[in-house]
Structure formats: structure tokens, C-alpha cells
Structure 1
């Protein structure tokens, strides 16, 4: 052990390799080279990595299903010659122009070169000290309002919608794109609801969602290019929807759903000619994922909205001498790594380690797999847990115990806080799925809705079964748009504990009845701040009375407790019973992964691409003076320990919760009580690691990890209290050979063991873990490690722990309180992201949120025209997308944003050399569709729906009765024999008659609506079957026709039969066939 390399303070041995220190150009540049898009078969494969049990973690949350991202993944098997990103190598970016958003993911089609967009440029060296004067900058910046009337003249409807795929396929692509962007494709986000509820009619929600989902489709298909507003406008199927497209685009851009990460944002043309203005000064405290993500997003937003007219100054202050925060890939120096691709160095992950699935909305997906093209290794399951005797645990016993643990966790979940999900406006699911908008004859018209609102029958007009509601109107029985409430996910109590155990394979004690169960109410309700550990421990005690549990079963159960403590960085005795899993339902999907060559390549990419951010390391912030009045122009003042003072318009604080708890930074005025109380109530936990590098591997290299059971303090004890102290010590080992290129193991220390590690010496910890390895691998020679590192995150002054958790005293809204800004002081970090706390992606998302709040403070709310949707024009395009593909020009691949010439001229005056190919292609498509229609006939139109509003039928029967009564009342009131009641008075009176009508009178109309509803469903189902078969047959005929009529021969015949100037006429003749 004397020859081993020990590292106690990871930062002390870094030698500034990862530090963007002064001067800035001393740092290496992180390149991104052009990569071929792999086909689906080329994407690196690997089994799901699911944690043992349901506890999950920041590194090991798993979901049952997997959804692939719409854009191509970069396979981990690519060789370095293909140009994979090497963010630890000192070279410059290079590459060439690539395809647009709709380029097909083909192995032979090169993707857009990120390097051509992301030129790495060194930021200027910062001044030694800023002048002690406040910058003169207004609270808000003027921008010219959007000219909505000009939108339809600038961009053609449907110009961003491909014409060569059926509308239903396009609709499904849009729906999938919304899901992988963390948005409900069928309902408004609560932010959209707040923005649009006073402007958007309920019948237009479907059109808005189709446009919004279409914009997300453009981004998800190629996140290496930013989506422009013109492209977004082209997602509208009718010119009257253009304002909707503009609003949707701006909302997505501002909130970081598109155009985020390491991409170049095209500069907005200057709104007004004139001298360039000095922009605001924004100071971001902390250069971890939240700070870097926020700064990168703000830089893009200012460039998008202001271009060259305003130059903001973004300054990141980092106390460490490196960037990345709690992501730290420590370089290893004991051995040369021959297994890594050229240019990647061997590193050990001291902090964040695992990507918890790329699918279902992880914002790191487009950055890691597309923009930076980082190599990654997909993880495999644990498969083996070793007992204290060094032998593997029986798999059957392991499985039974895991199920028992999950049952305990489920029963404890019955006491979780009942989350209330506020429903938002929904669109027509059938139309959205089929890629179609509403039309004049589809659904409920605006007039019908107004009539129903005046009559007080909105709930009847919008039946809950249709999942549609009017924006800004109160309705009942509407399903939540954001997924089921937590209460709907709770375990049921239909089966007793004894019966459940029998189903798992357990044998009950002789005196136990199958009806016997657990009673946890007393312990759960013993305190208003009860902890999860107390209830779970009591559940185990009660299960001991039902089952013949053994000491090995107790060790296995406590292994899962340790895994839960790893997930939360805290002992289960500190977790809130009612809210420990308050982020439930937001997990991502797909295989978990590790970054090859170090996770720190991710924050380095955010810092350096497309141009280097102004990060000032070794700048320890000591005090922040802020103004709690958001309407004031008073500046903030940030003081550093070295005496420097920086004046700013906004300050964004992204340091960990541990720093706030430790009062390491003073605030003037002091933080308000509501913020200080949230900081106090939330927990900030601890997880530590032991890194062990050996000369040769002695473990199974086919496994990415293996588990280890720990002895209680009293041998073979059956008491939970005796397992608490040791169960998390070295309970899990990561095999990191695939990611660091060296024989390296990382042992975890969770729960109370993580705190104990802070007190022990390196030698004590290393002797202990080596002894455990020698106990497991008795038949192998286990040498002393060549290099060791022990983390002590609790002693790190810039973290003071690992990540946040919901402590027993925490309240449901504490994460939201942590995120809330105070005047010109904003907050970001994983502890401010209630949907994804304790994760890298949660920290990044919080940075996007903070950037959105800051840009909104300058821009004001998104401009909404009045009316938002112009009245329908008879000459306007049909609002619904045709089922059969049109013969419009094929969708062109979008050029890189750096192309100054824009799209090629396709006007009739363009040279034939440029236009004839397009014309021939159109003629070819026309001829093909003529053949298809001649054989199959046109697609059957969608069946017309029967009315679903019972009031309309009632109105027909009682209109003249009500009219007579109203006319008589008018005559009596005016004394004129010919007096007539106005139509509006009749409608209001008729609505009152309906409300006052007895159930017996209403019943036949309601029954008729149920008949209509069933008829509509049956007719639609039959039509859908027929149209699917029709579309299937179109592909058969198309394949056959194309084989018999190759394009080259067809084109030559067209040229021979129609001279160059008459090709267009020839195409028209083909269309008339």
C-alpha cells in the first residue's frame, strides 16, 4: 500500500487542467467534428440497467418502457477517425455543412457539422478589477413589436411540413417529439395556459398544439441546428394560424424547449439602425451545470432577440479552480490507458456519474449524443450480489427479497402527500394523432360554445370523455393533462400482506392466516413530520411475525435500504414519509449510461462551444447586495473574498443548497423568511466514493457492477437498528474499465457510512474495502491498489454535501420556494428543480428556467395579437391536412444557418438547370399518385360526426315554445301588440329553461347523445381501419409503379416529349390524367 497514489483532496491534484483561468486562451479548445448519422441498426445496444427495487436514484432511476429519441444517437463504438468529440484534447473544431431538420437518419448521410456552427473563440481576459461604478442600463429593452400581418406574406403555410409522408405519420412524429421534450402533446403546458387563456378559443387549442408539436419535431430531428422563426411559421397549415405559430415558437425558445445547448444561434437583425448599445451585466455565481447552462442559454436568447444591437456582459464567478461543480472527472496517473480512443484521458468520477436514461425528455440527450457527440457506455444490470461469506446470493432468494422490499416501499407510499394536478386545456386527440387541424364542420363552433356558456351548460357541451375543455372556462370532470396525480399511483390495499407474500413465493408461518396484513397507521400518524425509515422499519418488524425471515434476508433487505439511501444521499430515517419521492413520475427512460473519458466533458462543452463563456475561477463570492423590488433600477453588488466588487443588473445564484445552509455567502438584505425557511427545511445529503485502480482486473469484466451485503453491528441480528450503521459501506462497486480504460473499481459509501467516511483516514477506508474484495475473490490474488482516491464532499467548502433530498420537516412547496426569484436576485441549481432534484439534468433544467425568467424581465411577456386567430377567409387554405399526400413541391433540406444566400431561387425565371429537376420530381410524383388513385380511388373522407350537445336537440324542440313565451312577455312589458323578443333574449331564456328542466325532461336528450357518441366511435373505428388498409395498399402500388417506371427513364421521356420550356406544361397534363 505504500506505493499507492493516494488523493484526499481531489481539487488539489488537478493542476488546473480543466480550469478556464486567466489568461483565457491558455485553455485547450474543445472540438466537435462532423459525424455520420448512424442507421437504427448501428446505434449502440445494451440491456436496461434497473436498480434493485423501486427506490431509484440520481444515478440509477429506471423506468419500465423505453422510447427512442427521434434524432440519431451517436454510437459508442465509433472510432476516433470519425471525428468524435474530444473535449480533453487541445485541437480546434473542423467539419463541413450538413443536412437540415428533416434529413433522414441514414448511415451514409453526413449530419450537420457542429464545428462549422460552433467556432471556438477565446473570451477576452478579464480586467484585474472592474471599475467601482454601476453600469447604466435600463430595466427593460425596447424591441419592435411583431408584425403579425406580415407573417403570411413572409412564409408559406405548410412549408415546414413534409409532403412525402402520410399526415398520420407526420402527426405521430409530432406527438413523439412533444413527449421527448417533456410536454404533453394533447394539452397545454401550465405556462402556455397562463399565456393564452384570455386569447385562445377552445376550438383552436388543437391547431395550436399541432403547430407547437411540429416545431418540436423540427428541433428533435436535428438539434445540431437552431430552429428559425420562419421554419416555425411553416408548421402552420393555414395562414390564419401564423400568429399561433409565432406565439408557440417564442414560448418554446424562451423556455428552453428548443434551441438550447452548444449550438450557434443566428443573430437577430438589428431592430433599429444606430449605435450598438451596451447590454446588461449579469453575474452568475457558480460554474456548475446550472450556471453554465444558464449562461449559455442567456447568451443564445440575447443573440436571438437582440442580435448585434445589444451586447450583454455575462460573468460566471467560480470559487474553485475548475468548472463543473459536482461533476468532476479526476485524472488518473498511475497507468497509461490503452483502451480509450485516441485523445481521451483516463479519469475517475468523483461526483455525478450516471446518465439516467436518454429517452422521454432528458435535455442532455441532444447535447451529449448529437451536439458534442460524446462517447458513452450503456450499462448492464447488477446480476450478482455477494454475501458476507464471499459467495453469491441465491438468485431466487434475491428476487423474493427484492419483491418484499418493493411491497414495503409501496405500503409506505400510501402515506405520501396527495399531489393536486391542475388540468389545462386539451386538444382533439384524434385530430392531433392524425396530423389534422380543426375545420368549420369539426367539433364545436365558437358560436355554439358562446351559446352554451350563456346557458350555463359548458360541462354538457364539452363531455369529459372527449378530453377537451374551453380555455379560461370552469369545467368539471376533466382529466389532468400532466399525467395522473400521485394519489392515482398509490398501491391498493385489495390484498393482504400475507396473500401478497404467498404470491411472491414466501411461505407463511404456521399460525398465520392469508387474511393477515400489516398495520402501519399508528407509526405513520405518530408525528406530522414522520420519516420514511420509521415506517419501513416497523413494516419489517411486522413481516417477521408473518414470515420466517433469516439473517441473510435481513442483510438483503438492508442492501436495498442502502440503495435507497444512495438515491437520496441520506439515511431513510431523515427522509419525509409524505414527500421523499415528490418527483415521482418524471423519470426518464432508456438504458443508463456513463460518458467515456469523463463526464466533465459535458460542462466543458457548455463552457467552450460555440464560443467561450467568461468564466472567472478562484473567485469566491462572500456577499451579495440585491434589490428585492423588481421594479427598481438599482444594481446588485457582488463582493468577492479577494476584494473585487462587481456591479450587475441581475445576479443568478447557482451554488449548492449546502452553501446556502452553511451561510457561506451573506445576502443584503437578508433573504426573506419564506426563502430562509425553505432552505432550512430541505435536506442536503452526502454520498462518498472510494476509487481503486489496479494493475490487472480480477473481477468479472462482463459486469458493470456488483453488490455486497454487510454485517450488522451484532452478528446475525434480526433487529433493524443493528444494520443502520454499516449497510451502506461499500454496498455497491462500479466496474469502470469501459469508461476510463484502466482496471478501476469505484465503491460507494451511502447513508450513515458516508458521514463516517468523513472521519476515517484514507488508510482505514482503503484497508476495509480491500479486505472485502479479498473476501469475495478468494480464488484470485487481490493486490493492493496502485492508485486510490477517497472523496469527502461534506468537507468541500463549495458544496458541503452531495445533493438535496426531501427531509422529514420539508413542505410540498419548498422546491418551488427555492426556485423563486427575489427582485433582481435569481436562483438555479438541482435543489431548485422540484421535478428532477438531485440530478445533473435537473441542474441544467433549472439553469434554463432561470435564463427564461431573466430574459422575460427584459423583454416583458410574449406579445399576443388581438384577435389571436383572424376570422376564416373563404379563400384561405383548407385548415385540415389532407389524408392523401399532395403534389406540392417536396420539402427541401434546410441549409446550415451560416449559409448567407438562403434557399435556392425556384421562381419561373430561375435557370432551367436549377428548376427542371424539381419540376421533373413533381411530375413523377403526380404520375405515381395518378396511378394509385386510378386503382384505389381517392381516400375515403372522415365520417361526419353526429351532434354531441343535448342542448341543441332540446333547443329545436322548445325554441318556438320559448319564443312564444318571450314574445308574450315583451308585449306585456311594452304594451305593443307586435313586439318581438330579440334572439339573444330567447337564447338566454331557453338556456334557463334547460337548467331548470327536470332530469326526466333532460333524460331523452342525454340518452340520444350517448347513442350519438357510440355511433361516432364505431364509425370512426371502422373508417380508421379502412383508411389504414388504403394507405397500406398505396405503398404496395407505389413500390410496384416505381419499379416499373424508374425515375431516370421517366425523366428522359419527359424531356423528349416536352421541350425544356414546356416541362411545366407536361407536368400539368400528367396531373390531369
Structure 2
């Protein structure tokens, strides 16, 4: 499949050219072949996002590069302000810093296969931006140290050697451990990776495809968003074995327990109710400050006694309130209906009384022969002038009877009219009868599906999840599509282990640390099993020790929790003891934060019998307790593989039931949905038991009830050996140490880069601040504005800087004399702004031409 780059650009150079030719400089690639074969299947917006870095000196390319590096395009971060305090004196110096920083990021995005050196940046920067050599070099060092450039599977062009040999032991060859080890090696450290399993990758585990079976991910499998995701960089760098990326569909079909497809409108309605409940919970917690509950009366309280509210409690309370509202509305309806029925009864009684009066009057008149044959009731009773008193009384009585008859007839007609009106109202009222319940049984099963999906995302039953901050990392979610890798995500992560000193089957038992160094004691073993969750029998073992300057612990949170308890149903084989013991604040955070469970049943077939255009399909379970059992099936492109999930309370079922029973139940589900197209049994299958795996003890971290977002930061904090918190030898990485990107593969990767930078700061030396004391940068944004194209511009006020003006920033107490010749920044900014329109016009023309060629192809 063709690359997403424009076809009229110069042909891409060989990504290995620098290595093959022995070049010492970085080759520039205008048209980048990222090795993502299915990028053409992505939306136009996503495809163009990868190609935009070609537009040099253009705001769009600078903005895109900053976003891809998870940095703000138009302002400096707190760390940047700390390292470059002199640049925050004015908005104009800020703009200079941002341009150089973003331009450096653009150059890295253009070619992530080869190390981006300072000399190559110096050559690419136009004048006068490259005149301040010290500033450019400092920005390059900053971006490299903290993992914004030169990370992953790139080819290094420089040979880093430290003044003295420094050894770092990395415990765990998962995503975070491999990322940190690779970066530390690039920085010049000697790195030893100890992995307890007989394989690398940790919770990213891909079963390798054979001639009979395709690859399949048993652990992490989804790339959650592409904008800013460092895993996309690893895919770009995977040139030797390019990957096929499958875009995951947003809407999925859902089937009931009988295999019948649910009406999408019904599902949309229930999903909207689900989202409204989440919004209500957010308002109750954030807006009203309610986080506790009194069990005896179920009354919410703001302060005082009671237990902390869980997300499951909140859902049940909101559903109960909705049911109460429905019942209240129903009571009002029936009360009104009852009133109408009483009115109808009164009208009928009135008609009956009138009918009786009419019958009595007619009997009297009939007996006296007053009525004619035509039934005229209004005959005149004429007098002949002479009449007896008896006859007069009789005629007067008949006239009175006739009058009463007329009154009765009129009253009967009015009562009949009233009855007809009431009956019409009742008929209309029946049509507007409210629902008997907020959700019927069928609707609740659909809601349970969405709740199970939420438990899958969180990694734990809702009854254990904190109602506050349960989604504290959602503001940092990467945008655009979620994707999967046909060759398996493990095929990318495992490449991080290339050229690293990794020792497998090494179980770390003890970490002893002090100011002189660290000593790691580990057990070398040979096991007879590699299946996830299966107990392993150690055939041979040997105790070893290694001395090092520092240790980076990347074991999962579930393994760290073993250090806190002695009575554990799981094997204590993987428990790590710290000497000295972990501080109290670290132990409390380990105990508070939750570690969830999620398991998968992977089914292999001869060929797909499902709709391969849909990346997933769902299935309803019959009860709330089983809602997370085989509720979602994932496919991976056109591969004949289905991955079904066990989430929430159902996650532990994989360790309780026989595998053949679980497989048979899954096949029964598929047979009901797809009928005769589904085979009777799979070609092969694999069932995970991550919660029983002694080297993971679960899937990923989550905000357990009682935990705090700060616990992630405390888990990431090193064990400092001085009161000033400036020196440490024990460090921690992993998704459970990344508050912004927790519970994700990319979060684990970024935590590894973070700790590599932290270790380098301590043992190589921190990057020296470039300038004087930090000023209040937020107050310097008064002149910032955006033009009608959304491009950042600045009002040039007080620009009296002369060209080549000497800026002396040296003060007593500063580490360096930073007096350098600065360019005229007014000229610099004007030059940047003058090129905006022309570059944007060129970009639009190029984009339009590329779109036409893509359509023709």
C-alpha cells in the first residue's frame, strides 16, 4: 500500500542509508515513508497529519510537531521556564524560544529513523535563528534529555561516553523498562535488564503467528489515539518489518442473548441515558461536593460520617432516583386518571337518574293518553273555557309532568355529552401513559453492556472504583482513531529489546540501597511453563547478586502490592523486599491505588465468518452479575481471530472454570449470532489468567475507592537519600507511575523516558538554567493574540532591540556567564509572520492536488 506522502515530492531515501554508508551526519528526508502500510485507510485528516511536517517554517507544521510531542505550541511549559528563565522576559523572546523548539521537533518528526544531532539542527535553522548557538544547543539538549526527540528505535550517530562507568539495573523488561533501558544506553550508561519471565514485553504479549495460526495479542493490543502517541513513532521506526495498522470502528453492532441484532436507535437511547448518568455523577461529585454515603438511609452527605461513595454506588443511586422520578410521575398520572374515572362515574350515575325520571314521566303521560303515535312530547294541553276542578288539576299535573320530562331529557343529554367528553379524554390519556419503570429488563441489559464496557476501560468492577477522579487522566487522552496492529503490538515493543543486555528468568528478591550504591539479589530459574496465569514449576534455581549505581523498578503495581502483605493467596515468588524498607508515604500510595483485572479468550479459525469491516461486536448477558462475561469480541482486520473479553466481576472466571467450558460457551454465543456460518469449534484457542500471573497480578492500575490522583505521583517519586531530594539510587517507572497516561502502553513507555531523564539528571548532571531568575510568564501574555487563520502572532511593542545587541545576563550566583550576541528579534518575528500566508497558500494547493491523486488511485 502506498505511503501517505505526496506523490510529487522527491522519492524517500533509504532509512538505513546513514548506517550503510557510515555517514556521520543526519540525512534529511522530505518525503517520509513511515512504514505504516494501511495509512491510506485512515481519514484524510489523519493522513495529512503525518505529511504536514514537510512544511518548513510554516505555523501548521510547527504546531503539529508540538502537539505530536505533547507540548503546547504557543507557550512554554513550567520545566522550560525553569531551564530557560531568561527567555520569559518578554513575549518576543518567548516566541524565539518556541520557534527553535518547535522547529527542532519538526526535524525530528521528519526523520525519526536517525538521531537528530545538534549540528543538523543548526544547519536547518534559517538565519537569524541559528545565530544563538548556545540557545539552540540548550534547547536540543533539553528535548533529548526528556524524551521529546531521539527515542525509540532510531539509529544513533554519536557515541556517548560518560566520565566514569555508571551501571543501572532495570527490573522488568516490559514497555517502561525497555524504553528506559534503551534511552539510558543512548545516554552512555551501562544497562542490565532483569526479567522474571522467559520472554520480554511484560503485559504486552503477542502469540507469534505460524503457518497455521496468525499472531494475536494476549495483553495490551490497542493504540489509543495517534496524535501525540509515542507508539506511532515506534511504528514509523519499524522499517525492517513494517506493520499493518487497522483502524478501529467507532460504532459496533450489539446482539442480545438470542443472537438477534439490537435496534441501533434503542442502543443510542440507552447510551445517551448512560452518558447522562455519568454527567449527573460528575455534577454531584464536582459541583455539589458529595463523596460519601450513609448506608442505613442511603442519604448523601457532604461531610462527616459515612463511607466513601464508589462509582457503582453512584450509578445505583442515580438509577434509583430515576426510578423514583418515574414512579412519582406515574402516581400523578394515575391520580389524574382516577379523578377522570370518578367524573365518568358521576356522569353515568346522572344519566341513569335522568333515564329513570324520563321513564317515570313517560309512563304517566302514556297512561293519560297524552303522547301521540309520533312520540311528540310537546303537545299543547288546550282548554275549552269550561273545565271542572278535577280536570283542571289533572291537566295541570300532566303539564307539570311534561315539564319534568323536558328537564330530564335535557339533563340526560348533558350527562351523555359529558360522558363522551370524559371518555375521549381517557382514551387520549391512555396514549400518553408514562413508563411503568425507568428501564425495563431489556433496557437494563443494554445498560449493563455499557457498564461492562466501562469496567473494561477502568479495569475493575465499578463497586471498587472511586467516584471522584475515576477518570482523572481523560483530559490527556490522545485524539483521532484507535488502532490495532495486525502483526501484534508485541512485535513493536519487543524490538525495543534489540542490542540490550537482558537476562531472562531472573526473579528479583531484594534491593539493598544506600549512598554508596545498590545491590540487587535475584533468583535465576528455569520454568516448565510460559502460559499466562499457569503455575510454574521451577526446575533449577540459583541466587545471584549485582552491584550497580542505580536501580529502576518497573514491576507492575500488583507485584509491588506483594511487598505490603504476608498472607497472600498468590505465590510470593515475585515479591521484592527493599532494604531499607519503603517509606510510609510510598507504602500508603501502593496500598491505596487499585490494580485491576481483565482477561481474554482468543479464538483461532480457518477463516473469518463475521463482518471484517467492523472491528468489534458486542453481546448482552442475562444478568447484571455476568454482564462482563464474553460481552465484547474484537477482530483484527481480516485475520481469522476473535478476542473476547472478561471484565469487571467476570474477570476472575477464567481461573475458576475449566477452559473447555468457557470455550464452548463462547462458541454457543457465536453460533446464535452467525448461525451455520460459524464452525462448531475453533481451530485453536488461548485463555489468559493475568490476575493469577505472579509477575503481573492483574492488568493495569485504576483509581480505587479511597485513592488519590497524587498517589500516581508518589509512586513515581524516587527514594531520595538526602533531605533536599536531590540524590537517589532507586527509581520507579510503569503505567502506574504516570498520572496523565495511566493504564496504557503509551503511558508505560513515557514513564520509562521520564525516569531515564531523571537518572541522567542525577548521575550525569542537570541541564543548567539558561538565564536569570524566573519571572511570571503568565503575566507576559498580554500581547498574545491569534489571527483569523488561528496562527499565533504578537503585537510588537517596545521592540527597541538593536541588531547584535549584547545581552549580559550574568549575575552573582548564576552558574554560567551567558552573555551572547542576540539577533534582532523584531526582524525575526516579522520574517516569520511574512511567510505565513504564502506558505499556507502553498500548503492548500499541495493538499488539494494530493487529494485529487488519492481519489484517482
Shorter-normalised TM-score: what interval? 0.5 to 0.7
Task: Give the one of 391, 394, 417 matched to 2:260.
Answer: 391
Displacement of 1:661 in angstroms is 0.6
Q: Quote the residue 1:374 is aligned against.
A: 243
Instruction: Identify if the C-alpha distance between structure 1 residues 199 and 185 changes in structure 2 by more than 3 Å, giving closer, same or farther.
Output: closer
Displacement of 1:96 in angstroms is 10
Q: TM-score, normalised by structure 1?
A: 0.53
Q: Deviations over 1:885-937 (max 9, x none)?
A: xxxxxxxxxxxxxxxxxxxxxxxxxxxxxxxxxxxxxxxxxxxxxxxxxxxxx
Displacement of 1:212 in angstroms is 1.0
Q: Does residue 1:336 correspond to 2:336, yes or no?
A: no
Instruction: Identify if the C-alpha distance between structure 1 residues 947 and 856 changes in structure 2 by more than 3 Å, giving closer, same or farther.
Output: closer
Q: Which residues in structure 2 correspond to 1:888-927 (within 5 Å)? A: none
Give the unaligned 5+ runs of structure 2: 37-51, 290-296, 327-434, 525-541, 564-574, 720-727, 775-786, 788-792, 800-831, 847-857
Q: Tell me, in whole angstroms, the C-alpha distance in 2 between the residues paired with 1:1034 and 1:329.
A: 44
Task: Give the one of 646, 659, 668 matched to 1:749.
Answer: 646
Task: Give the one of 624, 627, 636 matched to 1:727.
Answer: 627
Q: Does residue 1:206 correspond to 2:84, yes or no?
A: no
Q: Quote the residue 1:843 is aligned against.
A: 748
Aligned residues of 1:694 and 1:783 also touching (Cα < 8 A): no
Aligned residues of 1:705 and 1:732 also touching (Cα < 8 A): yes
Q: Tell me, in whole angstroms, the C-alpha distance in 2 between the residues paired with 1:604 and 1:209.
A: 35
Q: Quote the residue 2:311 is aligned against.
A: 532
Q: Which residues in structure 2 correspond to 1:783-794 (within 5 Å)? A: 783-794=680-691
Displacement of 1:323 in angstroms is 0.4
Q: Tell me, in whole angstroms, the C-alpha distance in 2 between the residues paired with 1:231 and 1:580.
A: 45
Q: Does residue 1:183 correspond to 2:71, yes or no?
A: yes
Q: Quote the residue 2:136 is aligned against.
A: 245
Q: Quote the residue 1:39 is aligned against.
A: 5
Displacement of 1:523 in angstroms is 6.9
Q: Alignment length, in residue pairs? A: 620
Displacement of 1:701 in angstroms is 2.8
Q: Tell me, in whole angstroms, the C-alpha distance in 2 between the residues paired with 1:666 and 1:837.
A: 25
Q: Quote the residue 1:681 is aligned against.
A: 592
Q: Quote the residue 2:496 is aligned against.
A: 606
Q: Does residue 1:762 correspond to 2:540, yes or no?
A: no
Q: TM-score, normalised by structure 2?
A: 0.66
Q: Quote the residue 1:852 is aligned against.
A: 757
Q: Tell me, in whole angstroms, the C-alpha distance in 1 between the residues paired with 2:488 and 2:281.
A: 38
Instruction: Identify if the C-alpha distance between structure 1 residues 744 and 635 changes in structure 2 by more than 3 Å, giving closer, same or farther.
Output: closer
Aligned residues of 1:316 and 1:614 also touching (Cα < 8 A): yes
Q: Tell me, in whole angstroms, the C-alpha distance in 2 between the residues paired with 1:745 and 1:771.
A: 14
Displacement of 1:943 in angstroms is 11
Task: Give the one of 528, 537, 543 matched to 1:643.
Answer: 543
Displacement of 1:248 in angstroms is 1.5
Q: Deviations over 1:852-896 (max 9, x none)?
A: 011111222213455799xxxxxxxxxxxxx9xxxxxxxxxxxxx
Displacement of 1:72 in angstroms is 13
SS at structure 2 position matched to 1:522: strand
Instruction: Identify if the C-alpha distance between structure 1 residues 111 and 755 changes in structure 2 by more than 3 Å, giving closer, same or farther.
Output: closer
Displacement of 1:190 in angstroms is 2.0
Q: Quote the residue 1:133 is aligned against.
A: none
Q: Tell me, in whole angstroms, the C-alpha distance in 2 between the residues paired with 1:256 and 1:246.
A: 16
Instruction: Identify if the C-alpha distance between structure 1 residues 569 and 83 changes in structure 2 by more than 3 Å, giving closer, same or farther.
Output: farther
Q: Tell me, in whole angstroms, the C-alpha distance in 1 between the residues paired with 2:593 and 2:445.
A: 30
Aligned residues of 1:36 and 1:111 also touching (Cα < 8 A): no
Q: Does residue 1:584 correspond to 2:510, yes or no?
A: no
Q: Quote the residue 1:772 is aligned against.
A: 669
Displacement of 1:1027 in angstroms is 9.2
Give the unaligned 5+ runs of structure 1: 1-34, 43-70, 75-81, 86-92, 114-161, 271-275, 303-311, 338-345, 419-486, 491-518, 713-722, 870-882, 884-941, 949-1023, 1039-1073
Task: Give the one of 507, 510, 521 matched to 1:623.
Answer: 510
Q: Quote the residue 2:403 is aligned against.
A: none
Q: Does residue 1:362 correspond to 2:229, yes or no?
A: yes
Q: Does residue 1:353 correspond to 2:221, yes or no?
A: yes
Q: Does residue 1:104 correspond to 2:4, yes or no?
A: no
Q: Quote the residue 1:193 is aligned against.
A: 81
Q: Tell me, in whole angstroms, the C-alpha distance in 2 between the residues paired with 1:176 and 1:183.
A: 10
Q: Does residue 1:658 correspond to 2:584, yes or no?
A: no
Instruction: Identify if the C-alpha distance between structure 1 residues 332 and 779 changes in structure 2 by more than 3 Å, giving closer, same or farther.
Output: same
SS at structure 1 position matched to 2:102: helix
SS at structure 2 position matched to 1:770: helix
Q: Tell me, in whole angstroms, the C-alpha distance in 1 between the residues paired with 2:89 and 2:842.
A: 37
Q: Deviations over 1:534-580 (max 9, x none)?
A: 11121122223445322111111111100010001101111111111
Displacement of 1:94 in angstroms is 7.8
Displacement of 1:225 in angstroms is 2.1
Larger deviation: 845-854 or 217-226?
A: 217-226
Q: Does residue 1:298 correspond to 2:184, yes or no?
A: yes
Q: Quote the residue 2:300 is aligned against.
A: 522
Aligned residues of 1:223 and 1:371 also touching (Cα < 8 A): no
Q: Tell me, in whole angstroms, the C-alpha distance in 2 between the residues paired with 1:702 and 1:280.
A: 52
Q: Quote the residue 2:729 is aligned against.
A: 824
Displacement of 1:362 in angstroms is 0.4
Q: Quote the residue 1:228 is aligned against.
A: 117
Displacement of 1:95 in angstroms is 9.8
Task: Give the one of 262, 277, 289 matched to 2:153.
Answer: 262
SS at structure 2 position matched to 1:603: helix
CA RMSD of aligned residues (A): 4.0
Aligned residues of 2:175 and 2:493 also touching (Cα < 8 A): yes
Structure with higher Rg: it is: 2
Displacement of 1:524 in angstroms is 7.8
Q: Tell me, in whole angstroms, the C-alpha distance in 1 between the residues paired with 2:845 and 2:555.
A: 62
Displacement of 1:778 in angstroms is 3.3
Aligned residues of 1:101 and 1:221 also touching (Cα < 8 A): no
SS at structure 2 position matched to 1:788: strand
